[in-house]
Protein backbone atom coordinates (compact mmCIF):
# COMPACT_ATOMS: atom_id res chain seq x y z
CA UNK A 1 0.00 0.00 0.00
CA UNK A 2 1.32 3.42 -0.84
CA UNK A 3 -0.10 6.33 1.06
CA UNK A 4 0.94 9.89 1.63
CA UNK A 5 4.70 9.64 1.93
CA UNK A 6 4.59 6.15 3.48
CA UNK A 7 5.60 2.86 1.99
CA UNK A 8 4.27 -0.10 3.89
CA UNK A 9 6.32 -3.05 2.71
CA UNK A 10 4.15 -5.65 4.41
CA UNK A 11 1.44 -4.85 6.94
CA UNK A 12 0.78 -1.39 8.41
CA UNK A 13 2.34 -0.74 11.81
CA UNK A 14 0.31 -2.25 14.68
CA UNK A 15 -0.12 1.19 16.28
CA UNK A 16 -2.05 2.42 13.22
CA UNK A 17 -5.79 2.16 12.80
CA UNK A 18 -6.79 2.55 9.17
CA UNK A 19 -6.34 5.65 7.07
CA UNK A 20 -7.77 9.12 6.61
CA UNK A 21 -8.31 10.38 3.06
CA UNK A 22 -6.84 13.76 2.24
CA UNK A 23 -6.33 15.75 -0.97
CA UNK A 24 -2.67 14.66 -0.70
CA UNK A 25 -3.46 10.94 -0.41
CA UNK A 26 -4.36 8.52 2.35
CA UNK A 27 -2.77 9.25 5.73
CA UNK A 28 -2.42 6.49 8.35
CA UNK A 29 -4.37 7.08 11.55
CA UNK A 30 -2.50 6.30 14.78
CA UNK A 31 -3.91 4.76 17.94
CA UNK A 32 -3.69 6.98 21.02
CA UNK A 33 -3.23 4.21 23.54
CA UNK A 34 -0.15 2.11 24.19
CA UNK A 35 -0.31 -1.62 23.54
CA UNK A 36 1.71 -4.14 25.54
CA UNK A 37 4.26 -4.08 22.70
CA UNK A 38 4.58 -0.27 22.99
CA UNK A 39 5.12 -0.53 26.75
CA UNK A 40 7.67 -3.31 26.32
CA UNK A 41 9.48 -1.25 23.66
CA UNK A 42 9.59 1.77 25.98
CA UNK A 43 11.02 -0.41 28.77
CA UNK A 44 13.63 -1.99 26.50
CA UNK A 45 15.07 1.28 25.22
CA UNK A 46 15.49 2.43 28.85
CA UNK A 47 17.86 -0.54 29.15
CA UNK A 48 19.58 0.39 25.89
CA UNK A 49 18.10 -2.63 24.09
CA UNK A 50 17.66 -1.71 20.43
CA UNK A 51 17.58 1.98 21.39
CA UNK A 52 19.29 3.07 18.17
CA UNK A 53 16.80 1.20 16.00
CA UNK A 54 13.59 2.31 17.74
CA UNK A 55 12.07 4.47 15.06
CA UNK A 56 8.93 5.22 13.10
CA UNK A 57 8.73 6.12 9.41
CA UNK A 58 8.91 9.89 8.80
CA UNK A 59 5.82 11.44 7.26
CA UNK A 60 2.31 12.55 8.08
CA UNK A 61 -0.08 10.75 10.43
CA UNK A 62 -3.64 11.44 11.54
CA UNK A 63 -5.04 11.44 15.06
CA UNK A 64 -8.79 10.94 15.55
CA UNK A 65 -10.85 12.48 12.75
CA UNK A 66 -8.82 15.53 11.75
CA UNK A 67 -10.09 18.25 9.46
CA UNK A 68 -8.15 20.81 7.38
CA UNK A 69 -8.45 23.12 10.39
CA UNK A 70 -6.95 20.65 12.89
CA UNK A 71 -3.59 21.44 14.52
CA UNK A 72 -0.33 19.93 13.25
CA UNK A 73 2.14 18.56 15.80
CA UNK A 74 5.75 18.01 14.76
CA UNK A 75 7.90 15.31 16.34
CA UNK A 76 11.00 13.14 15.84
CA UNK A 77 11.24 9.64 14.40
CA UNK A 78 12.35 8.17 17.76
CA UNK A 79 9.40 5.90 18.55
CA UNK A 80 9.38 6.80 22.25
CA UNK A 81 8.99 10.52 21.36
CA UNK A 82 6.26 9.64 18.86
CA UNK A 83 4.49 7.34 21.35
CA UNK A 84 4.44 10.01 24.06
CA UNK A 85 2.93 12.46 21.59
CA UNK A 86 0.18 10.16 20.25
CA UNK A 87 -0.75 9.11 23.78
CA UNK A 88 -1.01 12.75 24.85
CA UNK A 89 -3.38 13.41 21.92
CA UNK A 90 -5.94 10.84 23.08
CA UNK A 91 -9.46 12.14 22.37
CA UNK A 92 -8.20 15.00 20.17
CA UNK A 93 -8.18 15.45 16.41
CA UNK A 94 -4.99 16.51 14.70
CA UNK A 95 -2.06 15.74 12.46
CA UNK A 96 1.38 14.47 13.41
CA UNK A 97 4.34 15.32 11.19
CA UNK A 98 7.29 13.01 11.92
CA UNK A 99 10.67 14.40 10.85
CA UNK A 100 13.49 12.07 9.85
CA UNK A 101 15.82 12.25 12.85
CA UNK A 102 17.31 8.78 12.31
CA UNK A 103 15.48 7.45 15.35
CA UNK A 104 16.91 10.11 17.71
CA UNK A 105 14.72 12.05 20.17
CA UNK A 106 13.69 15.69 19.59
CA UNK A 107 16.21 17.41 21.86
CA UNK A 108 19.29 15.41 20.86
CA UNK A 109 18.33 15.51 17.18
CA UNK A 110 17.77 19.28 17.38
CA UNK A 111 21.27 19.62 18.85
CA UNK A 112 22.65 17.75 15.85
CA UNK A 113 20.47 19.67 13.39
CA UNK A 114 18.57 16.64 12.04
CA UNK A 115 15.48 18.00 13.79
CA UNK A 116 15.97 21.34 12.12
CA UNK A 117 14.68 24.03 9.79
CA UNK A 118 15.86 22.26 6.64
CA UNK A 119 14.30 18.88 7.45
CA UNK A 120 11.06 20.50 8.64
CA UNK A 121 10.63 22.59 5.49
CA UNK A 122 11.51 19.62 3.24
CA UNK A 123 9.22 17.22 5.10
CA UNK A 124 6.15 19.43 5.03
CA UNK A 125 6.67 19.88 1.30
CA UNK A 126 7.14 16.11 0.80
CA UNK A 127 3.85 15.26 2.51
CA UNK A 128 2.11 18.20 0.75
CA UNK A 129 0.92 19.52 4.09
CA UNK A 130 -0.30 22.71 2.43
CA UNK A 131 -2.96 20.63 0.63
CA UNK A 132 -3.98 18.72 3.76
CA UNK A 133 -4.57 21.71 6.07
CA UNK A 134 -5.99 25.14 5.35
CA UNK A 135 -4.22 26.96 8.21
CA UNK A 136 -0.48 27.66 8.14
CA UNK A 137 0.61 26.83 11.66
CA UNK A 138 2.87 24.11 13.11
CA UNK A 139 3.12 23.19 16.78
CA UNK A 140 6.77 22.25 17.33
CA UNK A 141 7.94 20.88 20.69
CA UNK A 142 9.82 23.59 22.57
CA UNK A 143 13.04 21.58 22.77
CA UNK A 144 13.02 21.41 18.96
CA UNK A 145 13.85 25.14 19.00
CA UNK A 146 17.50 24.13 19.43
CA UNK A 147 17.46 23.07 15.76
CA UNK A 148 14.48 24.91 14.27
CA UNK A 149 14.48 28.65 13.56
CA UNK A 150 10.83 29.69 13.57
CA UNK A 151 11.36 32.84 11.48
CA UNK A 152 13.30 30.89 8.83
CA UNK A 153 10.58 28.23 8.56
CA UNK A 154 8.07 31.02 8.02
CA UNK A 155 10.21 32.61 5.30
CA UNK A 156 10.88 29.34 3.52
CA UNK A 157 7.48 27.65 3.75
CA UNK A 158 4.87 30.16 4.83
CA UNK A 159 4.12 28.06 7.90
CA UNK A 160 4.27 29.81 11.27
CA UNK A 161 5.95 27.85 14.04
CA UNK A 162 4.52 28.03 17.53
CA UNK A 163 6.45 26.26 20.24
CA UNK A 164 4.41 23.83 22.28
CA UNK A 165 5.23 22.66 25.79
CA UNK A 166 8.42 20.75 26.65
CA UNK A 167 6.44 17.64 27.67
CA UNK A 168 3.86 16.06 25.39
CA UNK A 169 1.68 15.31 28.41
CA UNK A 170 1.04 19.06 28.78
CA UNK A 171 -0.41 19.37 25.26
CA UNK A 172 -4.10 19.03 26.23
CA UNK A 173 -3.73 21.82 28.81
CA UNK A 174 -1.75 23.89 26.28
CA UNK A 175 -4.52 23.52 23.65
CA UNK A 176 -7.20 24.27 26.22
CA UNK A 177 -5.35 27.50 27.06
CA UNK A 178 -5.50 28.56 23.39
CA UNK A 179 -1.89 27.53 22.70
CA UNK A 180 -0.45 29.47 25.60
CA UNK A 181 2.13 27.51 27.56
CA UNK A 182 2.26 28.26 31.26
CA UNK A 183 5.77 29.09 32.51
CA UNK A 184 6.00 25.68 34.17
CA UNK A 185 5.33 23.94 30.81
CA UNK A 186 8.36 25.74 29.36
CA UNK A 187 10.80 24.49 31.99
CA UNK A 188 12.91 21.39 31.64
CA UNK A 189 12.82 19.47 34.87
CA UNK A 190 15.20 16.83 36.14
CA UNK A 191 13.14 15.37 38.95
CA UNK A 192 13.69 12.04 40.64
CA UNK A 193 11.60 10.12 38.09
CA UNK A 194 13.52 11.70 35.17
CA UNK A 195 16.85 10.93 36.81
CA UNK A 196 15.95 7.33 37.57
CA UNK A 197 14.62 6.85 34.02
CA UNK A 198 18.09 7.50 32.55
CA UNK A 199 19.86 5.40 35.18
CA UNK A 200 19.58 1.98 33.45
CA UNK A 201 21.13 3.27 30.21
CA UNK A 202 24.04 4.72 32.21
CA UNK A 203 24.43 1.39 33.96
CA UNK A 204 24.44 -0.60 30.73
CA UNK A 205 26.71 1.83 28.85
CA UNK A 206 29.25 2.12 31.66
CA UNK A 207 29.37 -1.52 32.66
CA UNK A 208 31.78 -2.93 30.02
CA UNK A 209 34.46 -0.32 30.81
CA UNK A 210 34.00 -0.80 34.53
CA UNK A 211 34.13 -4.60 34.20
CA UNK A 212 37.42 -4.15 32.31
CA UNK A 213 38.84 -2.02 35.12
CA UNK A 214 37.65 -4.55 37.69
CA UNK A 215 39.33 -7.37 35.73
CA UNK A 216 42.65 -5.51 35.60
CA UNK A 217 42.42 -4.77 39.32
CA UNK A 218 41.54 -8.41 40.00
CA UNK A 219 44.63 -9.61 38.12
CA UNK A 220 46.81 -7.00 39.84
CA UNK A 221 45.31 -8.03 43.18
CA UNK A 222 46.07 -11.65 42.39
CA UNK A 223 49.68 -10.80 41.59
CA UNK A 224 49.86 -8.75 44.76
CA UNK A 225 48.78 -11.86 46.64
CA UNK A 226 52.21 -12.94 45.43
CA UNK A 227 53.62 -16.11 46.82
CA UNK A 228 50.46 -16.97 48.75
CA UNK A 229 48.43 -20.04 47.91
CA UNK A 230 45.94 -20.01 45.04
CA UNK A 231 42.95 -19.44 47.28
CA UNK A 232 44.60 -16.37 48.82
CA UNK A 233 45.44 -14.98 45.38
CA UNK A 234 41.86 -15.47 44.16
CA UNK A 235 40.39 -13.94 47.27
CA UNK A 236 42.60 -10.85 47.05
CA UNK A 237 41.85 -10.38 43.34
CA UNK A 238 38.10 -10.92 43.61
CA UNK A 239 37.81 -8.64 46.61
CA UNK A 240 39.58 -5.83 44.77
CA UNK A 241 37.34 -6.28 41.72
CA UNK A 242 34.25 -6.26 43.94
CA UNK A 243 35.32 -2.97 45.52
CA UNK A 244 35.80 -1.35 42.10
CA UNK A 245 32.37 -2.55 40.94
CA UNK A 246 30.82 -1.34 44.20
CA UNK A 247 32.23 2.14 43.56
CA UNK A 248 30.83 2.09 40.02
CA UNK A 249 27.39 0.90 41.13
CA UNK A 250 27.25 3.34 44.06
CA UNK A 251 27.99 6.25 41.73
CA UNK A 252 25.65 5.12 38.94
CA UNK A 253 22.73 4.74 41.35
CA UNK A 254 23.33 7.31 44.08
CA UNK A 255 24.52 10.25 41.98
CA UNK A 256 21.22 10.41 40.02
CA UNK A 257 19.08 9.48 43.01
CA UNK A 258 20.65 12.03 45.38
CA UNK A 259 21.76 14.65 42.82
CA UNK A 260 20.14 17.72 44.46
CA UNK A 261 21.37 16.79 47.92
CA UNK A 262 24.95 15.78 47.18
CA UNK A 263 27.43 18.56 47.97
CA UNK A 264 28.87 20.86 45.32
CA UNK A 265 27.75 21.96 41.87
CA UNK A 266 30.41 20.00 40.00
CA UNK A 267 29.39 16.40 39.28
CA UNK A 268 32.89 15.15 40.16
CA UNK A 269 32.52 16.61 43.66
CA UNK A 270 29.16 14.87 44.04
CA UNK A 271 30.76 11.61 42.87
CA UNK A 272 33.68 12.04 45.25
CA UNK A 273 31.20 12.41 48.11
CA UNK A 274 29.53 9.13 47.10
CA UNK A 275 32.94 7.43 46.86
CA UNK A 276 33.99 8.65 50.31
CA UNK A 277 30.66 7.50 51.76
CA UNK A 278 31.24 4.06 50.24
CA UNK A 279 34.75 3.88 51.74
CA UNK A 280 33.34 4.91 55.14
CA UNK A 281 30.57 2.31 54.94
CA UNK A 282 32.94 -0.47 53.81
CA UNK A 283 35.40 0.53 56.53
CA UNK A 284 32.72 0.51 59.21
CA UNK A 285 31.43 -2.86 57.98
CA UNK A 286 34.92 -4.34 58.03
CA UNK A 287 35.05 -4.87 54.27
CA UNK A 288 38.01 -2.49 54.16
CA UNK A 289 40.84 -2.85 56.72
CA UNK A 290 39.86 -1.19 60.00
CA UNK A 291 42.15 -2.86 62.50
CA UNK A 292 45.38 -4.75 62.92
CA UNK A 293 48.88 -3.53 62.25
CA UNK A 294 49.25 -1.04 59.44
CA UNK A 295 45.55 -0.96 58.59
CA UNK A 296 45.76 2.69 57.67
CA UNK A 297 48.28 1.93 54.92
CA UNK A 298 46.01 -0.89 53.75
CA UNK A 299 43.05 1.48 53.64
CA UNK A 300 44.85 4.33 51.85
CA UNK A 301 44.78 2.87 48.31
CA UNK A 302 40.99 2.46 48.45
CA UNK A 303 40.55 5.90 49.93
CA UNK A 304 42.26 7.20 46.79
CA UNK A 305 40.93 4.82 44.13
CA UNK A 306 37.24 4.40 44.97
CA UNK A 307 36.33 8.13 45.18
CA UNK A 308 38.29 8.67 41.94
CA UNK A 309 36.18 6.02 40.19
CA UNK A 310 32.95 7.44 41.60
CA UNK A 311 33.99 10.98 40.59
CA UNK A 312 34.62 9.86 37.01
CA UNK A 313 31.30 7.99 36.79
CA UNK A 314 29.51 11.06 38.14
CA UNK A 315 31.25 13.30 35.61
CA UNK A 316 29.90 11.03 32.90
CA UNK A 317 26.37 11.67 34.15
CA UNK A 318 26.62 15.29 32.89
CA UNK A 319 25.60 13.92 29.47
CA UNK A 320 22.34 12.52 30.80
CA UNK A 321 21.50 15.61 32.88
CA UNK A 322 19.31 18.38 31.51
CA UNK A 323 21.10 21.46 32.83
CA UNK A 324 24.86 21.22 32.22
CA UNK A 325 26.45 23.48 29.60
CA UNK A 326 29.31 22.58 27.28
CA UNK A 327 31.46 25.40 28.71
CA UNK A 328 30.74 24.19 32.23
CA UNK A 329 31.59 20.57 31.45
CA UNK A 330 34.80 21.63 29.72
CA UNK A 331 35.82 23.66 32.75
CA UNK A 332 34.93 20.86 35.14
CA UNK A 333 36.92 18.35 33.09
CA UNK A 334 39.98 20.59 33.01
CA UNK A 335 39.84 20.90 36.78
CA UNK A 336 38.68 17.40 37.73
CA UNK A 337 40.31 14.95 35.33
CA UNK A 338 43.94 15.53 36.48
CA UNK A 339 43.19 14.93 40.19
CA UNK A 340 41.01 11.91 39.30
CA UNK A 341 43.88 10.38 37.30
CA UNK A 342 46.46 11.21 39.97
CA UNK A 343 44.34 9.80 42.80
CA UNK A 344 43.52 6.67 40.82
CA UNK A 345 47.14 6.04 39.81
CA UNK A 346 48.41 6.82 43.31
CA UNK A 347 45.87 4.43 44.79
CA UNK A 348 46.95 1.58 42.52
CA UNK A 349 50.69 2.28 43.09
CA UNK A 350 50.35 2.46 46.87
CA UNK A 351 48.33 -0.73 46.82
CA UNK A 352 50.81 -2.65 44.67
CA UNK A 353 54.12 -1.40 45.98
CA UNK A 354 53.80 -0.09 49.52
CA UNK B 1 14.30 19.92 47.08
CA UNK B 2 17.32 22.17 46.38
CA UNK B 3 17.44 23.55 42.85
CA UNK B 4 19.87 21.89 40.46
CA UNK B 5 22.48 24.45 39.39
CA UNK B 6 25.69 23.91 37.48
CA UNK B 7 28.94 25.92 37.59
CA UNK B 8 28.80 29.70 37.96
CA UNK B 9 30.09 32.21 35.39
CA UNK B 10 30.82 29.81 32.55
CA UNK B 11 28.18 30.44 29.91
CA UNK B 12 29.15 32.02 26.60
CA UNK B 13 25.67 33.60 26.30
CA UNK B 14 25.70 37.20 25.03
CA UNK B 15 22.69 39.46 24.54
CA UNK B 16 22.98 42.63 22.50
CA UNK B 17 20.16 44.77 23.86
CA UNK B 18 20.66 47.35 21.10
CA UNK B 19 19.53 44.86 18.46
CA UNK B 20 16.68 43.34 20.47
CA UNK B 21 13.11 44.01 19.25
CA UNK B 22 11.54 42.53 22.35
CA UNK B 23 9.66 39.83 20.41
CA UNK B 24 9.97 37.41 23.32
CA UNK B 25 11.00 34.32 21.35
CA UNK B 26 13.96 33.78 23.69
CA UNK B 27 11.64 33.70 26.69
CA UNK B 28 9.45 31.21 24.84
CA UNK B 29 12.17 28.74 23.80
CA UNK B 30 14.53 28.81 26.81
CA UNK B 31 14.08 25.63 28.87
CA UNK B 32 15.64 27.24 31.96
CA UNK B 33 13.87 30.62 32.08
CA UNK B 34 17.11 32.56 31.55
CA UNK B 35 15.36 35.53 29.88
CA UNK B 36 12.62 37.98 30.74
CA UNK B 37 11.16 40.95 28.91
CA UNK B 38 11.11 44.40 30.46
CA UNK B 39 10.28 47.65 28.66
CA UNK B 40 10.12 45.85 25.28
CA UNK B 41 13.65 44.49 25.62
CA UNK B 42 14.90 41.05 26.53
CA UNK B 43 17.13 40.83 29.53
CA UNK B 44 19.14 38.02 31.06
CA UNK B 45 17.58 37.42 34.43
CA UNK B 46 19.32 34.15 35.38
CA UNK B 47 22.60 33.84 33.53
CA UNK B 48 23.99 30.85 35.44
CA UNK B 49 20.94 28.75 34.55
CA UNK B 50 22.02 28.81 30.87
CA UNK B 51 22.96 25.38 29.50
CA UNK B 52 24.08 26.71 26.10
CA UNK B 53 21.51 24.72 24.12
CA UNK B 54 21.38 27.55 21.58
CA UNK B 55 17.60 27.65 21.09
CA UNK B 56 17.45 31.40 21.87
CA UNK B 57 20.17 32.40 19.43
CA UNK B 58 18.73 30.22 16.64
CA UNK B 59 15.27 31.71 17.09
CA UNK B 60 16.24 35.35 17.55
CA UNK B 61 15.08 37.13 14.39
CA UNK B 62 17.16 40.20 15.30
CA UNK B 63 20.35 38.17 15.77
CA UNK B 64 20.77 39.85 19.14
CA UNK B 65 21.83 36.69 20.96
CA UNK B 66 24.99 34.68 20.58
CA UNK B 67 26.08 31.56 22.41
CA UNK B 68 28.56 28.81 21.69
CA UNK B 69 25.95 26.07 21.57
CA UNK B 70 26.79 22.49 22.41
CA UNK B 71 25.94 19.57 24.63
CA UNK B 72 27.23 19.51 28.21
CA UNK B 73 28.34 15.90 28.05
CA UNK B 74 31.68 14.71 29.41
CA UNK B 75 31.75 11.62 27.18
CA UNK B 76 31.30 13.75 24.07
CA UNK B 77 34.06 16.15 25.21
CA UNK B 78 36.40 13.21 25.87
CA UNK B 79 35.60 11.63 22.52
CA UNK B 80 36.13 14.93 20.73
CA UNK B 81 39.49 15.32 22.49
CA UNK B 82 40.46 11.85 21.28
CA UNK B 83 39.40 12.67 17.73
CA UNK B 84 36.21 10.59 17.74
CA UNK B 85 32.80 11.97 16.96
CA UNK B 86 29.65 11.97 19.04
CA UNK B 87 28.97 8.99 21.29
CA UNK B 88 27.07 10.76 24.02
CA UNK B 89 23.72 10.01 25.57
CA UNK B 90 22.00 9.85 22.23
CA UNK B 91 24.37 7.76 20.14
Predicted complex ipTM: 0.94
CA distance A346 to A341: 8
Show which of A137, A154, A186 is a domain's final residue.
A186
The partner residues of A63 in beta bridges, in order of sequence, read: A30, A94
Cα nearest neighbour of B5 on chain A: A265
Q: In which band, very low, low, confident or very high, does the pLDDT at B90 lie, cut at 50, 70 and 90? A: low
Q: Give the CATH class of B14-81.
A: alpha beta
H/E stretch holding A153 reads: helix A150-157
Residues A268-278 have pLDDT tens digits of: 999 999 999 99
**Which pLDDT score is estimated for A295?**
85
Q: In which band, very low, low, confident or very high, does the pLDDT at A2 lie, cut at 50, 70 and 90? A: very low
- The total domain count for chain A is 2
In 3D, which of A227, A255, A243 has the Cα closest to residue A324?
A255
Across A124-133, A233-242, B75-84, the highest mean pLDDT is recorded for: A124-133
DSSP string for residues in A216-245: HHHHHHHHHHTTS-HHHHHHHHHHHHHHHH
DSSP state of B28: H
The partner residues of A138 in beta bridges, in order of sequence, read: A161
User: Does some domain include residue A63?
Assistant: yes
Q: Among the listed ranges A164-178, A211-225, A299-313, which one has the minimum average pLDDT value?
A: A211-225
**Which pLDDT score is estimated for A238?**
87
Judge if A302 and A248 occupy the same domain: yes
Judge if A340 and A286 occupy the same domain: yes
Which residues numbered 239-268 in A keep a CB inside 8 Å of some CB on B? 259-261, 265-267
Show which of A169, A186, A203 is a domain's final residue.
A186
CA distance A347 to A345: 5
User: Does some domain include residue A5?
Assistant: no
pLDDT at residue A337 greater than cutoff 50: yes
Q: Tell me whether B8 touches chain A (CB under 8 Å).
A: yes
Judge if A156 and A246 occupy the same domain: no
Q: Which domain holds residue A87?
A: 16-186
Judge if A39 and A137 occupy the same domain: yes
Cα nearest neighbour of A319 on chain B: B73
Contact assignment for B77 to A329 by CB distance below 8 Å: yes
pLDDT at residue A10 greater than cutoff 70: no
Q: Tell me whether B58 touches chain A (CB under 8 Å).
A: yes
User: Does some domain include residue A210?
Assistant: yes
Nearest 5°: phi and psi at A246?
A: -65, -40
Q: Are A310 and A274 spatial neighbours (Cβ–Cβ below 8 Å)? A: yes
Of A52, A150, A260, which is closest to B4 when you measure between CB atoms? A260
Residues B2-48 have pLDDT tens digits of: 789 999 999 999 999 999 999 999 999 999 999 999 999 999 999 99
CA distance A353 to A228: 16
> How far from the centroid of its chain's Cα atoms is residue A239's Cα?
32
Judge if A153 and A235 occupy the same domain: no
Judge if A329 and A271 occupy the same domain: yes
- Total-model pTM: 0.91
Q: What is the mean pLDDT of residues A53-63?
A: 95
Residue A327 three-state SS: helix
pLDDT at residue B89 greater than cutoff 60: no
Q: In sequence order, what are the residues at sequence separation of 6 or more whose Cβ sits closer than 8 angstroms to the Cβ of residue A227?
A: none
Judge if A211 and A147 occupy the same domain: no
Judge if A199 and A177 occupy the same domain: no
Contacts of B91 in chain A (CB under 8 A): 52
User: Does some domain include residue A237?
Assistant: yes
Burial class (CB in 10 A: 0-12, 13-18, 19+), B71: buried
Judge if A163 and A250 occupy the same domain: no
**Which pLDDT score is estimated for A9?**
47
Contacts of A197 in chain B (CB under 8 A): none
Strands A72-75, A94-98: pairing kind: parallel
Judge if A157 and A296 occupy the same domain: no
Contact assignment for A319 to B72 by CB distance below 8 Å: yes
Q: What is the CATH number of the domain that holds A81?
A: 3.40.50.11600
Judge if A34 and A141 occupy the same domain: yes
Q: Tell me whether A9 touches chain B (CB under 8 Å).
A: no
In 3D, which of A180, A177, A172 has the Cα closest to residue A92?
A172
Show which of A151, A186, A221 is a domain's final residue.
A186
pLDDT at residue A6 greater than cutoff 80: no
Please report, for chain B, the start and end positions of each structural domain, with discontinuous segments joined by +: 14-81
**Which pLDDT score is estimated for A260?**
96
CA distance B48 to B26: 16
Judge if A159 and A210 occupy the same domain: no
Amino acid sequence: MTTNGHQFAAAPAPWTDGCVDTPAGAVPRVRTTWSAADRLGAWKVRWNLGRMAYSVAPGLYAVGTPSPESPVFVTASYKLSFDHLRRALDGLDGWILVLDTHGINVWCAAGKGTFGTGELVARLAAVRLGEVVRHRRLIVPQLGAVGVAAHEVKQQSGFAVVYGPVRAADIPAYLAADCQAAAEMRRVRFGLADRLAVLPVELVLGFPAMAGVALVVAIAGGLRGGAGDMREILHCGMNAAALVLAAFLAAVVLVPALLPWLPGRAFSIKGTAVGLALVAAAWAAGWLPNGGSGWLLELLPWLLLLPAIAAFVALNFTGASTYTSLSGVRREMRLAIPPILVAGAAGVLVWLFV
Amino acid sequence: MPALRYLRNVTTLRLDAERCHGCGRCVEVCPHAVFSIAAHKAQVRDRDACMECGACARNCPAEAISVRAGVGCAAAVLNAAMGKRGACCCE
